[in-house]
Chain A
Amino acid sequence: MEITVAEALVRCLEQENVEIIFGYPGGAILPVYDALNKSVIKHVLVRHEQGAAHMADGYARVTGKVGVCLATSGPGATNLVTGIANAYMDSVPMVVITGQVATSMVGTDAFQEVDITGITLPITKHNYLVKKPEQLPAVVKKAFLLASTGRPGPVLIDLPKDVAQTKINFKYPKKVALPGYKPTIKGHSAMVQQAAKIMMRSQRPVIYAGGGVRIANAAPELLQLAETICAPVTHTLMGLGSFPGDHPLFLGMLGLHGTRYANQAVTECDCLIAVGARFDDRVVSKISGFAPSAKIIHIDIDPAEIGKNVITQLPIVGDVKNVLGALLTHMEKKENTSWMERIRRLKEEMPLHYKQDGNLKPQYVIEKLNEYKEDSAIVVTDVGQHQMWAALYMRFNEPRSFLSSGGLGAMGFCLPAAIGAQLGAPHRQVILVVGDGGIQMTMQELGTAAEQKLPLKIFILNNNRLGMVRQLQEFYCDSRYFAVDFKLNPDFAELARIYGMEGYTVETPEHLLEILPRVLSSAAPVVVNCIIDREEDVLPMVLDGSNIDEAIE
């Protein structure tokens, strides 16, 4: 039967079991919306296309499925760019569909024309401009395959309006040919054996686990490995949640704002096992001072990450779950009391700490949130000081329970990502920790959240300034503060009420404690505007050019 390409696209999405699409209509994408109208797929109308991309991202991070977003040509497409880059940096599976002007107009600077495949070349895993109608089904199949396998990432499909309106004989291919795409899943067996030997022999092993563990669903294998060889586990920001935060082997986050004991353990270790992590500059700091006495074993699905930043002694390319499983078959449980004792002492000697002085401290807010949140809660952060405090002072015992913009560090991520997360996990509590700067970057999505009746718990750590930039100016510009204070912020609690949400303003620890239980158990969406101490710094902090064990606090 002949149907239009737009209808075929919607059929393809149904075949890929897409349940929800985040989007914003417009001229060039009109045929697709007309086809979507007849589909069972739920469409969430956002307030800005950046929101659509972040929502698809948040949805994908929580569910592990491919997130899908949709926008029109030109400004619709360019508004997605930050969200696409964010998904690319954090390896989030996403399919992005954009409308394009008719093929006869492509290249003429037509109204709302932009070369979105050109623009997104460096921030997508791959992208397609569909020029021939009959290509569409195979392109969609390829897009979903590429987005969700190997090292996941966003794939963009640009669909010209005339192509979308053309009729084709629709058949969804079962298999597509991608001769240049063969991700390595199974680790090289000789390397695996050798790595197992090094790990078994090591006296002071540390596991450094990143977002790859969550992506590969390898948390059980990670736990087993850590317990088998008595290796404490430190996480990157992206890794948090993949190892139980209450476990005695848990070291918390490492790096620039990592715990001092995690950074110390990495510095002292004789074997560093990097699992699904990429030695980012925010983790490594000065390369020569990073794990200086360690043999480094690097397990990652992306061969290009091996040796990119840090030279490793033993690389294993493969799916993290598969490789850890193979490693475990070569290992037996060993004890290591002296190293365990050393780790226990480090944690005792260098704990996280902050001063209570009667003001509402951001760390206190996070600690209390941690105490009162449900075990299965999903915490979504924005970018800045509050993000680091959440990473340091919260404990996660389940993967996919901490969502944050890691690689790109995109302010404005929190609210839309949380909307996507809540729609992906309607029965889990979703808590937002966001700054007064970041919330105002995508605040219009309060409309989307309210419209969708999502019971989000939004905690704004409000210091009426860009705290992280202020902190950078304190350390790197001799406290010459500039362009960091908001002299006019709205009353966020009142704003929430305008959107039909509950809104509270909290200025003291006592008041916070009073409302927390009620707010967190409420079925309504809530904004809690927490007026925090304006001068608080995120500590510990490793200054530029220092080794990670030289943090100030």
Chain B
Amino acid sequence: MKHTLSVLVENNPGVLARVAGLFSRRGFNIDSLAVGMTDNSSVSRMTIVVEGDERYLEQLNKQLHKLVDVIKISDITRDAYVDRELVLIKVSADAAKRAEIMQLVDIFRARIVDVSPKTLTIEVTGNDGKVTAFEDSLRPFGIKELVRTGKIAMLRGKRASSKNHINKEEDES
């Protein structure tokens, strides 16, 4: 089963290498990983999607915890959460197909962000299901290039999977 982990890390140089290195050397497979700063510039959030059974996830969780730069890990898979992914798709679109593609863009509430005589570049956001459906419906036209940001996620309601404002005491003298 696929798990979505929301991981808070100290925004230190090399933190991504530490996390990625851990996954590769312990043989864990990452489906996707998205990383960016939180509202606290010294803390970053990684949203990691991995597939595996409970025991596999438990071991992954514990190994991740051992990294000194990892502050908190929340497996939000079973909680209600919103997730989004941004995808850019460059699709072949000659004059004859253009109208049909634009209709699909409307239906999926996507956006055309670049136009050339032979192609359209489309931006779409949504959860995995929507993005995959959109990709499938464009496939017959000929996808020339596709790039996904990886999923980011947040719990629904007032709960936070982890506080961004960690009590980061300054190094006292």
Contacts and interface: CB of A to CB of B under 8 A. Distances in A.
Interface of A: 117-118, 121-122, 125-126, 129, 131, 138, 141, 146, 171-181, 302-304, 306-308, 311
A175 B169 contact: yes
Given A138-B171, A171-B173, A177-B170, 18 more contacts: A121-B17, A121-B18, A121-B21, A126-B68, A126-B69, A131-B13, A174-B173, A175-B169, A178-B68, A179-B71, A179-B167, A180-B10, A180-B67, A180-B68, A180-B70, A304-B63, A304-B66, A307-B59
Contacts of A141: 171
Given A122-B21, A179-B71, A302 B168 contact: no
B170 to A, nearest CB: 7
A175 B171 contact: yes
A138 B67 CA distance: 18
B13 to A, nearest CB: 7
B70 A173 contact: no
B172 interface: yes
Nearest to B67: A180
A175 B172 contact: yes
Contact of B14 (A117, A177, A302, A304): A117
Nearest to B15: A180
Given A122-B25, A304-B63, A173 B171 contact: yes
Contacts of A146: 68
Interface in B125-173: 166-173
B65 A304 contact: yes
A302 B68 CA distance: 13
Report the 4 A-B pairs with minimum CB-CB distance, sorted nearest first. Answer: A304-B62, A180-B71, A138-B171, A126-B68
A138 to B, nearest CB: 4
Given A121-B17, A122-B25, A174-B173, A179 B10 contact: yes
B27 to A, nearest CB: 13
B68 to A, nearest CB: 4
A125 B68 contact: yes
Interface of B: 9-10, 13-14, 17-18, 21, 25, 55, 58-59, 62-63, 65-72, 166-173
A307 B55 contact: yes
Contact of B59 (A171, A177, A304): A304
A179 B14 contact: no
A176 B167 CA distance: 12
Contact of A174 (B58, B67, B172): B172
Nearest to A146: B68
B69 A173 contact: no
B172 A129 contact: no
Contacts of B66: 302, 304
Contact of B169 (A117, A126, A177): A177
B167 A307 contact: no
Contacts of A178: 68
B166 to A, nearest CB: 5
A171 B171 CA distance: 11
A141 B169 CA distance: 15
A70 to B, nearest CB: 22
Contacts of A175: 169, 171-172
Contacts of A181: 68
Contacts of A171: 173
Contacts of B58: 307
Contacts of B68: 125-126, 146, 178, 180-181
Nearest to B172: A175
Contacts of A179: 10, 71, 166-168
A176 B171 CA distance: 5
A129 B15 CA distance: 12
Q: Which of B62, B71, B168 has the most CB of A within 10 A?
A: B62
Nearest to A127: B14
A225 B173 CA distance: 43
Contacts of A177: 168-171
A77 B143 CA distance: 49
B59 A180 contact: no
